[in-house]
């Protein structure tokens, strides 16, 4: 065989192997579970063998909800508020869900369900929930404002069926519904393998409100752990039978009040401090060494599923991936009276990479419009700081973006 034929053979062989690898790469699928109202410290006070199993195979991370305490993104530690921070990767100053009434969600900030369907309309989604509003109001199924996003399979709404689930004061009907929700999630996932699934369980929060710290609440957490185990077992079976690659994430939406564990909503450490269980061991340096945020789950999912999130959305997401390498995180900004802008950020290690700093004095994105960013200059990521005197209109808001090869960081300066 001459040199030309040898080279051609090698090129064709490599191309064929690469095409085969792409065609036969494991399908990537995701399940995330929100189990309501379990403060971080409570996990050590009860039996959680299934969360322990996930921890052994991946990690159990210290996490937080509530945005920046005392800052522009401070977010109530309330259930629907936390769910939407996960779904959109943003804090309440953006997604606009301030309480469980869910009066006026800002659908300009897309949920993970819309991001998936926009790029892959044929991929399948599922919601298994003890609260119907998660699908109808937060995801906004079939609403004009969400582009009529569709959930392919839903198992929810039983809390409205008072005939089959009479509402008793002990909230046993919620315990029963949780069991049915988890059971349906396990069987449906095992049989159908939807690409993206959300499972929501409520009973633990009800026991927190009713009884606070103590044996009843801790037994409820163990009960929820059993239900989590059913869904996780279904995912493991799918992986073994079909060779799929599953990302499995479990978290909670808020902690509990420090005095008795009955309440939540404020900014105490116990209300803010939560946790994230993830079945992947290959965490990045940021995830290993920091208390991560509930807003980090969305970018972790989008990167895992190779979703191409439009840049205008990337610039608004408040979380960062827990798996893919990240050099910079925790961007903060201040603006002096003479319009000197000072940026700081944390780094995961030495870096010579140059990032780009952009600023805008509008928030047109909030109402579906476009913000025109201007480049301020390049920043040495390894230095962790950037200073610039800005020439820009006086405004009650400045949005700053740090663009790196790994993604975007954003922060706001508000004058109101």
Q: Is the pLDDT of residue 3 over 50?
A: no
Q: Based on the number of CB atoms within 10 Å of its own CB, is 245 exposed (0-12), middle (13-18) or buried (19 or more)?
A: middle
Residue-level pLDDT at 392: 80
Contact 188/9 with Cβ under 8 angstroms? no
Tens of pLDDT along 177-236? 999 999 999 999 999 999 999 999 999 999 999 999 999 999 999 999 999 999 999 999
Instruction: Classify residue 147 by its DSSP letter.
Output: T
Q: What percent of the chain is predicted at pLDDT more than 90?
A: 92
| Domain architecture of the chain: domains with CATH | 26-314 (3.40.720.10), 328-414 (2.60.40.10)
Residue-level pLDDT at 103: 97
Tens of pLDDT along 35-59? 999 999 999 999 999 999 999 999 9
Residue-level pLDDT at 141: 98
Residue-level pLDDT at 6: 47
In this prediction, residue 407 has a pLDDT band, given cuts at 50, 70 and 90, of very high
Mean pLDDT computed over every residue of the chain: 94
What is the C-alpha to C-alpha distance for residues 211 and 205, in angstroms, rounded to an integer?
10
Structure-derived torsion over alpha carbons of residues 227, 231, 236, 241, reported in degrees to the nearest 10: 130
Nearest to 42 by CA among 207, 233, 238: 207
The number of residues in the chain equals 416
Tens of pLDDT along 93-138? 999 999 999 999 999 999 999 999 999 999 999 999 999 999 999 9
Contact 255/273 with Cβ under 8 angstroms? yes
Q: Hey, which residues does 378 pair with through a beta bridge?
A: 356
Nearest to 112 by CA among 83, 132, 133: 83
Residue-level pLDDT at 391: 85
Residue-level pLDDT at 8: 45
Residue-level pLDDT at 17: 45
Phi-psi region of 311 (alpha: psi -120 to 50; beta: other; left: phi over 0): alpha
Contact 43/275 with Cβ under 8 angstroms? yes
Q: In the predicted model, what is the mean pLDDT of residues 256-265? A: 98
Instruction: Classify residue 214 by its DSSP letter.
Output: S
Contact 175/201 with Cβ under 8 angstroms? no
SS3 226: helix
Question: Tokens 């025109």 correspond to what residue?
Answer: 372
In this prediction, residue 21 has a pLDDT band, given cuts at 50, 70 and 90, of very low
Q: In the predicted model, what is the mean pLDDT of residues 379-391? A: 95
Structure-derived torsion over alpha carbons of residues 35, 117, 244, 286, reported in degrees to the nearest 10: -60
Within 10 A of 8 (CB to CB), how many other CB atoms are there? 12
């Amino acid at each position: 065989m001459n040199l030309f034929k040898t080279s051609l053979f090698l090129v064709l062989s490599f191309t064929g192997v690469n095409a085969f690898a792409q065609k036969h790469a494991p399908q990537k699928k995701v399940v995330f579970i929100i189990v309501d109202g379990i403060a971080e410290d409570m996990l050590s006070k009860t039996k959680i063998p299934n969360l322990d199993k996930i921890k052994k195979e991946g990690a159990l991370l210290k996490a937080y909800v509530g945005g920046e305490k005392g800052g522009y993104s401070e977010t109530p530690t309330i259930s629907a508020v936390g769910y939407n921070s996960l779904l959109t990767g943003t804090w309440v100053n953006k997604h606009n869900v301030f309480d469980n009434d869910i009066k006026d969600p800002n659908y300009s900030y897309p949920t993970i369900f819309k991001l998936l369907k926009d790029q892959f309309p044929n991929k399948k989604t599922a919601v298994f929930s003890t609260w119907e509003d998660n699908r109808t109001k937060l995801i906004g199924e079939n609403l004009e404002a969400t582009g009529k996003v569709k959930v392919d399979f839903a198992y929810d709404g039983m809390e409205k069926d008072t005939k089959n689930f009479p509402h008793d004061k002990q909230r046993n009907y919620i315990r029963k519904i949780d069991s049915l929700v988890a059971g349906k999630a396990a069987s449906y996932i095992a049989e159908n393998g939807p690409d993206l699934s959300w499972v929501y369980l409520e009973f633990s929060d009800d026991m927190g409100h009713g009884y606070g710290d103590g044996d009843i609440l801790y037994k409820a957490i163990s009960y929820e752990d059993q239900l989590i185990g059913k869904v996780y077992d279904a995912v493991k079976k799918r992986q073994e039978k079909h060779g799929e690659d599953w990302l499995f994430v479990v978290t909670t939406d808020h902690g509990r009040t420090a005095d008795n564990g009955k309440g939540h909503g404020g900014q105490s450490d116990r209300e803010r401090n939560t946790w994230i269980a993830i079945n992947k061991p290959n965490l990045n340096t940021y995830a290993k060494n920091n208390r991560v945020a509930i807003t980090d789950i969305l970018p972790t999912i989008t990167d895992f599923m190779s979703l191409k999130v439009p840049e205008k959305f990337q610039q608004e997401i408040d979380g960062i991936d827990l798996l893919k390498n990240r050099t910079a995180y925790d961007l903060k900004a201040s603006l002096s009276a003479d319009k000197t802008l000072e940026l700081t950020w944390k780094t995961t290690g030495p870096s010579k990479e140059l990032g780009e700093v952009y600023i805008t004095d509008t928030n047109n994105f909030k109402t579906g419009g476009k913000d025109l960013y201007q480049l301020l200059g390049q920043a040495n990521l390894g230095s962790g700081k950037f200073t610039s005197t800005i020439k820009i209109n006086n405004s009650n808001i400045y949005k700053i973006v740090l663009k790196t090869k790994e993604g975007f960081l954003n922060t706001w300066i508000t004058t109101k």
